[in-house]
Amino acid sequence: MDLKLKGKVALVTGGSRGIGAAIALELGRQGAKVAITCSSRVETAQKIAAQIEQAGSRAMVVQADVADFKKTQEVVAAVAKELGGLHALICNAGVTWDGVIWKMSEEQWDKVINTNLKGYFNYNRAAAGIFKDAKYGKIVNIASINGLRGKFAQVNYSASKGGIIAMSKALAKELGKFNVNVNVVAPGMVMTEMAAKIPEEFLNKAINETVLGRVAEPGDVADVVAFLCSDRSRHVTGEVIKVDGGQYI
């Protein structure tokens, strides 16, 4: 399906691998110019950018820590200047550092909250001003079903993802009158590099939780995100769309 993204500019945080890379590639295939941010893995991100350009779209890579407030403002301004504006923001960069709460260190809590929640705030804030002035914009924040249901040994991660959901709903109310859509995509288990390292018993448990009998591929998430970045989703805002094969239910 042609989502008519040609001429649009999208910024994807954490776009060097996994879900972020799949999103960046799909937006590029749909005609959007794509900026990818990464905290490390610059060479990997550049390979994704090269694939986007091979598909006929422009791409750029910016190395930056999403938790750095000042740097985030600079990145968003630089992307808008280099690629000719900004029409869609996809916040995807995130980390996990699991542990039961009675063993969790302050560092574990701060690292996950600063990356997953503050990092999203930083980029949402930076893009909101551009979208508000342009009277147009699409924000898609990647959360998790564990932000809805909680997860054992993930109080930091679940809190960060639950915070993203609440923040996005509030932001949808603030920006709606400016023709800006804000939505959340909440994946279940997705077969990324990280998931491939999970012990088989835990992977099988996740599969058994679904009603479709499988876990998602990154492209399953990317397809939904691309739709939300298009004008076909113009009347969808403040929603949390689960891409989990029924794992949540």
SS3 192: coil
Reply yes or no on whether 248 is catalytic: no
AA letter at 53 = E
DSSP-assigned letters across all residues of 14-71: T-SSHHHHHHHHHHHHTT-EEEEEESS-HHHHHHHHHHHHHTT--EEEEE--TT-HHH
Q: Which of 123, 136, 157, 248 is catalytic?
A: 157
Q: Interior CA angle at 246 toward 241 and 249, to 5°?
A: 95
3-state helix, strand, coil in the chain (%, to 5): 50, 15, 35
**227 token code pair:** 């739709």
The whole-angstrom separation of Cα 48 and Cα 28 is: 10
Task: Report the catalytic residues.
Answer: 157
